[in-house]
Copies of this chain bind each other. A is one copy, B any other.
């Protein structure tokens, strides 16, 4: 299929597809002649994945490129590859190690991981972006005078762990390795908007249950 058809079937404007091609988010089509290129179903699928990451997952273009690099990298082990997407996700600014709130938050998060027995996560604290994000968020709460300690975080963490178990269980229902990888990427990136939306819906439901529509 040609660029125009790829555009029509995906709903993405041709100019944007050209931009993605230039940015390396999409492999070039098979060159038929100097002025014509041919794209196949795999291009269409990849394009839809890219669009979903950018529009639903709000992932920056540069990050999409990085994530796709991991998807296509057959040399990686499974856990690494499954994690690669998450690790490439948008990062909070590097926390300032000298800041007292950051230090307090680090202690608090460390205590949380101990309490939960998350040994593996604990081993990854020096490099995991998720750990750093958590520390920054907890520090922001503390700066505003709210104590977001390990006791309060633990029940949330417990619920998130069950969510992660669901994620991986769902992933394992997919037979092929290629499908699993793509599903893991989607699980890491697109699940978050789903969870966020469900969380907000649940807040609306629970708030109105408690207080009505006053």
Contact = CB atoms under 8 A, between A and B. Distances in A.
Interface of A: 45, 48-49, 51-52, 55-56, 77-80, 82-83, 86, 89, 92-93, 113, 118, 120-121, 124, 128-131, 133-134, 136-138, 140-141, 143-144, 146, 148, 152-153, 155-157, 159-168, 170, 182-183, 186, 188, 190, 192-214
Given A79-B207, A82-B207, A93-B55, A183 B128 contact: no
Given A55-B92, A159-B166, 14 more contacts: A52-B141, A78-B214, A86-B200, A86-B203, A120-B204, A128-B200, A130-B197, A133-B200, A160-B202, A161-B202, A164-B202, A164-B205, A165-B206, A168-B210
A207 B84 CA distance: 12
A164 B48 contact: no
**Stoichiometry, copies per complex:** 2
Contacts of A92: 55-56, 193
Contacts of A211: 78-79, 82
Nearest to A52: B140
A204 B159 contact: no
A198 B155 contact: no
Contact of A140 (B82, B144, B161, B190): B190
Contact of A190 (B82, B141, B190, B203): B141
29 contacts: A48-B144, A56-B92, A56-B140, A79-B211, A89-B200, A113-B201, A120-B209, A121-B201, A121-B204, A121-B205, A130-B201, A131-B201, A133-B200, A134-B193, A134-B201, A138-B194, A141-B190, A148-B194, A156-B166, A157-B201, A159-B163, A160-B198, A161-B205, A164-B199, A164-B203, A165-B206, A188-B200, A192-B199, A195-B195
Nearest first, the 5 A-B pairs at minimum CB distance are A130-B200, A134-B197, A164-B202, A120-B208, A160-B198
Nearest to A122: B205
A114 to B, nearest CB: 13
Contact of A198 (B48, B49, B134, B207): B134
A87 to B, nearest CB: 9
